[in-house]
Amino acid sequence: MKDIKLTQVVNCAGCAGKLPPKFLSDAVHGIDWYSNQNVIQAMENNEDAGVFKINETESLIQTTDFFTPVVDDPFTYGQIAAANALSDIYAMGAKPLSALNLVCYSEDLGPEILKEILRGGNDKAKEADCPILGGHSVKAPELKYGMAITGIAQTNKIKYNSGAKVGDILILTKALGTGILNTAIKRSQLSPSTMKTLIESMAGLNKKAAEIMIKYDTNASTDVTGFSLVGHGMEMAKSSNTDLLIDTSTLPVLPDVLQAIKDGFVTGGDKNNRIYTDGHYQVSDNVSSQMQNICFDPQTSGGLLLSVSKKDAQNLLKELQDVCQFVKIIGEVTESKNNQNLVHLV
């Protein structure tokens, strides 16, 4: 296998390479998307996946995600890309059924690197009990890998980002800062110990967290990925017609993120996410610029953001702590004045 650093053959790493959300929103706006009586959820509310009713009690959950390498090791890259794609299914409280591989690849890299990427994806699919049925590949100058996933759920138990209620407690299941640290990897400036923690986080499935949260009175759920904590929080606030109050002092943050920010390792996605959420966030004077960078940082294979009733919050947190190293209560859902749907960073 060729000795190639995958992060050096692409321009952007992971979810930081997504199209700017404002650009994407402008592109899809105004199209009369075809639908039928079986479609429960499609393009509305920026949900994590589409929902298609297949019988009186069950629905298919469908999503896709792919991105450029965030690490140099191809097997690990495959694991992270698969975990990230599966995350949308778990965010909806669903079980994955099957997957299809999506590959953009240059033959110049050789077949062995691609084989290792696919092995990594298969490893995570196996952990998720999600068979890979095939896929599609195209020749491309920039490497990308991911999956299209089909899941299933009881229709009346599906979790959306639109159900948050005033008084709910907000729980985040993974630590923040992956985009910043991935930039440090691309510039060969990350310590081995921090890289190990980062990889464990990104390659970790949200499977167990999803299985736990559906047992409780979880009113809304989304996964925190490329649009950042503020971006995905804004989508939850808007679709639920609430505000979110986030206590930044409680946010779980990966090791060495603050130092990486000081060293200048902030992605272009930070700026794009601020543009996307413009007018829908407020920042208290006590919140440092570094903490703001963390809140707007595009996450790769991030955690679940849960809005859970106050009566269940502590029991849910306690059970999540057995499977999620960095899980924290990070704030609460509050009433939205004048329908502004703000994310307050305090």
- Report the alpha-carbon angle 274-278-283, nearest 5: 75
Report CA dihedral (23, 26, 29, 31) to the nearest 10 degrees: -90
Reading across the β-sheet that carries 50-53, which strands appear in turn? 39-41, 50-53, 58-67, 144-154, 95-105, 132-139
Q: Does residue 15 carry a catalytic annotation? A: yes
Cβ neighbours for 221, distance < 8 A, ≥ 6 positions apart: 91, 92, 93, 159, 160, 161, 213, 304, 305, 306, 307
- How many angstroms separate the CA atoms of 177 and 266, rounded? 10
Neighbours of 230 (CB within 10 A): 26
Tokens of 19: 């199209």
- Count of alpha carbons within 13 Å of 96, Cβ hemisphere only? 33
Q: How far apart are CA 286 and CA 292, in angstroms?
A: 11
CB contact burial 196-225 (16+ within 10 A = b; e otherwise): ebbbebbbbbbbbbbebbbebebbbbbbbb
Catalytically annotated residue among 15, 130, 295, 324: 15
Q: Across-strand partners of 153?
A: 59
**Which residues are marked as active site?**
15
